[in-house]
Chain A
Amino acid sequence: MLDKLMNIDRRIVFILVALAVIIPTKLSVNLPVSVSEPTQKLYDYIDDLPAGATIMIAFDYGPASLPELHPMARAVLKQCFEKNIRVIGLTLAADAPTLANTLMEEVAEENEAMVGEDYVFLGYRPGGTLVILGMGNSIASVFDSDYSGTALAEIPMMENIKNYDQISLLLDLASGSTTEGWITYANAQYDLRIASGVTGVLISQMYPFLQTGQLVGLIAGISGAAEYEDLIDTPAKAMKWINIESFVHLLIVGLVILGNIAFFIRNRQEE
């Protein structure tokens, strides 16, 4: 029995996880969210920007991380459009343009923002760090047109935007190491202010940059997204999912404790 508790078949663990996800979706649980400091910092930074300022959002994630990062993007875009802050979207991930463009169009429509005036989506260029570096000198040298093919010179909001000097913030929504790239190349070399929104597994990696001030703020995983939704007073998917996630975390903690109790009892018996 003790051995069984110590070595539960992984398939049983999988079934328990599935149940811990499915059952709470059927219950309406609404747990209060407390806003963490890194999320608050980003919100305040954008909130303090004057109307007409421009920020960049790098959608550096593919479809896999969409459930975790799309709510962040949606919340920040809404905040920007409501405050008349212009947004330049782009991506370093080959499989992101369609999803990023669709999201920008959706949120823009909901908030009556106009393409070319309030926002523009530049699309994707391969090259990663080279793209980041290239835009430091001239955005048009890397993206000569936007995602729909309109030349940058013909886009009204890009008229006075040449490079990072005219950008107030870059928010990197990332499922990989792109934030480090933006910090190393765009922040260190061109003084561009950087903020980040990352998936759960990358959260702890971002803390050194937060402490040094290289990151203006951080949206940490789905919990960060829920906090941001709370800040803009628009509860949406992240708020729902973070409640579900609570149960999965509880389950994992329960399993770990169970395994350790069995381990402890068996050790005592052996002694």
Chain B
Amino acid sequence: MSKTIQCVVVCLVLCVSLAFSQGLSPPSNVTAMDTPNDDGSSVTIKWDAAPEDSGISGYQILRRIAGGGLEEIGEMLPAGATSYVDATIEKGNAYAYIVRAVSDAEATVDSNETAPAKGTGEWFHTGKIPLFIAMLLFGAVIVWNIYYARSGKEVFVRRIPGLEAVDEAIGRATEMGRSILYSLGLGRVDEVPTIASMTILGQVARRTADYETPLRVPCRDPIVMNVVREVVRTAYLDEGRPDVYNEENVFFVTESQFAYAAGVDGIMIREKPAAIFLQGQFFAESLILAETGNSIGAIQIAGTDSEHQLPFFIAACDYTLIGEELYAASAYLSREPMLLGSLRGQDWGKVLIFITMILGVVLELSGVNWITTLLQRVN
């Protein structure tokens, strides 16, 4: 008797749900699989797009952990959706999914349950293969050129007037019996322009050690200050003049951008240095520093990769190292073959980029767009 009642109830439920889901067909080809190229924290569910007249107004994803009950996850997806990434899984658990199609009248119909899927972390992101190859290629070009230069072959470096003028500036300060002011800008120690600036400072310090010209270095970052002290001290030591080195000449001013500018301007106006080096990363304070330097008649050599500040330096300074010239400075001043080799490698990199650009433009104009597609994939 009870079995008969059960059968009647099940039939009734089926009839009611059939009436509600009339016209709705369940999402087809539903699959759940580990999301590729992630850390194993998600599973991707995919299904076929429903025809436009299917009456589906959205989808709700349901999931079940092995042996557990169904639970709704995420919000309702739009009608056009064909995939969903479940990023709320617990690692190690396998989940089975159902995609529920919902109509405007809130009728629902469920897909078949997928096979259980687990999230697995991948060791290599296959989408980044082109980037990885480009990185290896560029690295190899640089390393090869370093070895080329080390083998004794001559590497040509074009004249950089700003670096040629370093000796002139130091000489002038020495003749006038005035100090040299060197600012590394606002960059922190982990920023490449700051490191490039330290290299130039090392070379400047070697020359000032020879001439006993006071070298003043106001710093904005305490870590930079400590490294710079070491750079200057070593330079003086290498030149056999540790007695001339004065630690107090490399000092911390403040972390605040404009307070730093005020402090350095104050030093310029009080001490009237004959030569001013502004090398590193600069922002809005660049012109405040350079104009003050200009007003006291100092010879100014600036250099920055902050291209937005270049116009200000060019307007107010005698020489300006533009962009990558700042990075070339260490090789240029030291003439160290390994550094010169890396410069050559850099130029090869540029040539590769030019070729890619020209090829890309030509192909794109002829209707072939695989280079553009490839680069977009890398992005």
Direct contact of A and B (CB under 8 A): yes
Residues of A in contact with B (beta carbons under 8 Å apart): 10, 62, 64-65, 94-95, 128, 165, 175-177, 188, 199, 201-202, 204-205
Assess whether B188 is in contact with A176, with CB atoms less than 8 Å apart: no
Cα separation A62 to B309 with both chains bound (whole Å): 19
Cα separation A4 to B257 with both chains bound (whole Å): 35
- 11 A-B pairs besides A175-B284, A177-B283, A205-B307 with CB distance below 8 A are A64-B257, A64-B258, A64-B284, A65-B284, A95-B256, A128-B188, A165-B87, A177-B281, A188-B379, A201-B284, A204-B308
Q: Is B334 an interface residue (CB 8 A)?
A: no
Kindly identify, within residues 271 to 307 of chain B, every residue whose CB is under 8 Å from any CB belonging to chain A. 281, 283-284, 295, 306-307
Cα separation A201 to B306 with both chains bound (whole Å): 11
Q: What is the distance, in angstroms, from B128's C-beta to the closest C-beta of chain A?
A: 11
Q: Is B186 an interface residue (CB 8 A)?
A: yes
Chain A residues with CB under 8 Å of B258's CB are 62, 64
Q: What is the distance, in angstroms, from A127's C-beta to the closest C-beta of chain B?
A: 10
Cα separation A43 to B157 with both chains bound (whole Å): 48
Contact of A175 among B255, B283, B379 (CB under 8 A): B283
Q: What is the distance, in angstroms, from A56's C-beta to the closest C-beta of chain B?
A: 19
Known: A62-B257, A64-B258, A199-B284. A177 touches B188 (CB 8 A): no
Assess whether B255 is in contact with A201, with CB atoms less than 8 Å apart: no
Contact of B255 among A94, A199, A202 (CB under 8 A): A94
Cα separation A55 to B373 with both chains bound (whole Å): 30
Q: What is the distance, in angstroms, from B268's C-beta to the closest C-beta of chain A?
A: 15
Cα separation A202 to B310 with both chains bound (whole Å): 11
Chain B residues with CB under 8 Å of A65's CB are 284
Cα separation A10 to B379 with both chains bound (whole Å): 48
26 residue pairs from A and B, CB less than 8 Å apart: A10-B295, A62-B256, A62-B258, A64-B258, A64-B284, A65-B284, A94-B255, A95-B256, A128-B188, A165-B87, A175-B257, A175-B283, A175-B284, A177-B281, A177-B306, A188-B379, A199-B284, A201-B283, A201-B284, A201-B308, A201-B309, A202-B283, A202-B308, A204-B308, A205-B307, A205-B308
Chain A residues with CB under 8 Å of B312's CB are 201
Cα separation A95 to B256 with both chains bound (whole Å): 8
Chain B residues with CB under 8 Å of A165's CB are 87
* Closest 5 pairs (CB-CB, A-B): A205-B308, A64-B258, A176-B283, A201-B284, A202-B308
Cα separation A176 to B260 with both chains bound (whole Å): 15
Cα separation A94 to B256 with both chains bound (whole Å): 8
Assess whether A176 is in contact with B307, with CB atoms less than 8 Å apart: no
Assess whether B308 is in contact with A176, with CB atoms less than 8 Å apart: no
> Which chain B residue shows the least CB distance to A95?
B256
Cα separation A65 to B256 with both chains bound (whole Å): 12
Chain A residues with CB under 8 Å of B309's CB are 201
Cα separation A16 to B183 with both chains bound (whole Å): 31
Q: What is the distance, in angstroms, from B378's C-beta to the closest C-beta of chain A?
A: 10
Chain B residues with CB under 8 Å of A177's CB are 281, 283, 306
Chain A residues with CB under 8 Å of B255's CB are 94
Chain A residues with CB under 8 Å of B306's CB are 177
Cα separation A47 to B156 with both chains bound (whole Å): 56
Chain A residues with CB under 8 Å of B284's CB are 64-65, 175, 199, 201
Q: What is the distance, in angstroms, from A136's C-beta to the closest C-beta of chain B?
A: 12
Q: What is the distance, in angstroms, from A89's C-beta to the closest C-beta of chain B?
A: 21
Chain A residues with CB under 8 Å of B308's CB are 201-202, 204-205
Chain B residues with CB under 8 Å of A201's CB are 283-284, 308-309, 312
- Digitize B174-212: 1 where CB-to-A-CB distance is under 8 Å, 0 elsewhere: 000000000000101000000000000000000000000
Cα separation A201 to B258 with both chains bound (whole Å): 15
Pick the most buried of B257, B281, B379: most chain A CB atoms within 10 A of its CB.
Answer: B257
Chain B residues with CB under 8 Å of A95's CB are 256
Kindly identify, within residues 230 to 276 of chain B, every residue whose CB is under 8 Å from any CB belonging to chain A. 255-258
Cα separation A95 to B260 with both chains bound (whole Å): 13
